[in-house]
A and B are shown apart, each in its own frame.
Chain A
Amino acid sequence: MDRTKILVVDDNPSIRKGLSVRLRANGYEVLFAEDAISATAALVTERPDLVILDLGLPAGDGFVVMERLHNHDRLAHIPVIVLTGRELAGNRDRALQAGAAAFFQKPVEDGTLLFAIRKALDVSRGELRFDE
């Protein structure tokens, strides 16, 4: 069985590295993108099972990536977890309204993030409803 593929989109290389170590240790395959353009390209070519998305990105922000994803028939089902350094006001509600499965400010506890990933994957695979 193929391993679950997670696309990490963040312009900070240390954040990408730290997340990859943690996610790989939990059995996930990890892909990277560092800006909105390469994130959109990776979504189309790699078809990840889930995206961990920063909001402050070069070449467009995380909201642009979410808009492109949700406007694409074959990608719209991919769950997005927003992990950002931006402030809550004006970003959390907007991200959730744009379709994010969860919103976290950095730094997030590893257990919290891993739980949200499992839950978002279960929901996208139809094994769980959002309200469970």
Chain B
Amino acid sequence: MTEPTRRTSELTAYLSHELRNALACIHQFGNILVDGLAGELSGEQREYVRIMLENASKIRKVLDSALAETPDQLEESTNKIGRVSKLET
């Protein structure tokens, strides 16, 4: 494994752990509120929590997609983004 690939692999592991734990907390407590396990919510409060949960799900899909790539693929994707940014500036 090359040094950049190793670093990408470590970054992937770190991001997976930190972001998934944070998302799990939002997901768990959002659903606890929506399900009334911490007391009943008003209709408006329920709607706002649902919006939070929907957006947490979107972040999760992005995360699943990004972290499904192997370290080599992720490094290549990152390099492509870097090349596009340079072309655009």
B16 & A21 in contact (Cβ 8 Å cutoff): no
Indicate if A99 sits at the interface (CB-CB under 8 A).
no
Kindly provide the distance from the CB of A82 to the nearest chain B CB, expressed in whole angstroms. 13
B7-46 near A? 1/0 per residue, CB < 8 Å: 0000011001111110111111101100101100000000
Complex Cα spacing A19 to B12, Å: 26
Interface size in chain A (residues, C-beta < 8 A): 20
Complex Cα spacing A56 to B28, Å: 19
Residue of B nearest to A105 (CB): B20
Contacts of A22 in B (CB 8 A): 28, 31-32, 37
A79-123 near B? 1/0 per residue, CB < 8 Å: 000001111110000000000000001111010000000000000
Interface size in chain B (residues, C-beta < 8 A): 25
Q: B16's contact among A14, A18, A25, A85, by CB below 8 Å, is which?
A: A85
Complex Cα spacing A85 to B35, Å: 24
Complex Cα spacing A106 to B70, Å: 19
Q: B25's contact among A18, A105, A110, by CB below 8 Å, is which?
A: A18
| Interchain residue pairs with CB less than 8 A apart (19) | A14-B28, A18-B24, A18-B25, A21-B28, A21-B32, A21-B37, A22-B31, A25-B35, A25-B37, A56-B17, A85-B16, A85-B19, A87-B13, A87-B16, A89-B70, A106-B21, A106-B23, A107-B23, A107-B56
> Which 7 pairs from chain A and chain B are nearest by CB?
A18-B28, A85-B20, A106-B24, A107-B27, A107-B24, A85-B17, A106-B20
